[in-house]
Amino acid sequence: MYRVSMNHEIETEKLKEKAMSDELRESYMTLDRESNYKLGVGVRTDETKSPLFFIEVVVSFGDVGDELDIEKQKRRLALLERLKGSDYHLTSEKDNSVVCEKNIEEEKVEHEYKELKKILEQLLYG
C-alpha cells in the first residue's frame, strides 16, 4: 500500500485561469493519491466562462486478478454509500474503479476537501 499526501494549497484562481484557456475548458488538480483512491478538485467553464467547481474521488476496487479481500471491499462499499448519501454522483469505470464526483461552490472547496479526507481516513483505514 502506498500513501501520498500532496498537501497542495488549493489555488482556485489558478484552476479557473487554466480552465478558461484550456481547449476543453477544464482544469484539474490531484490533491491526494493512495492505493485505494485518488482525490482531486477541478473546474469546468462554459461558453459564458462561468466556473463550475467539482471534487472527485476515484475509488479503486483492485486490479483484475488480485486476490479479493472481502473486508477491504466492505470498507470501499461503505465509502461509496456515504458519498452517494452526500450527493456525489457515482460512475463505474472499466478499470475496477468508481468515480465519485460532486459539484461545489468555489468558497466551499477547501472545506469539502478536509471533510472528505476525514471520511476517507475513517472508512478506509479506521
pTM of the model: 0.85
In contact, 114 and 101? CB cutoff 8 Å: no
- pLDDT at residue 64 in the model: 67
CA atoms of 41 and 52, how far apart (whole Å): 11
Q: Domain 3-125 adopts which CATH fold?
A: Yope Regulator; Chain: A, (3.30.1460)
Summarised one tens digit per residue, pLDDT across range 75-108 is 999 999 999 999 999 999 998 899 999 999 999 9
∠120-52-80 over CA atoms, to 5°? 25
Mean pLDDT of all residues in 18-34: 88
SS3 at position 126: coil
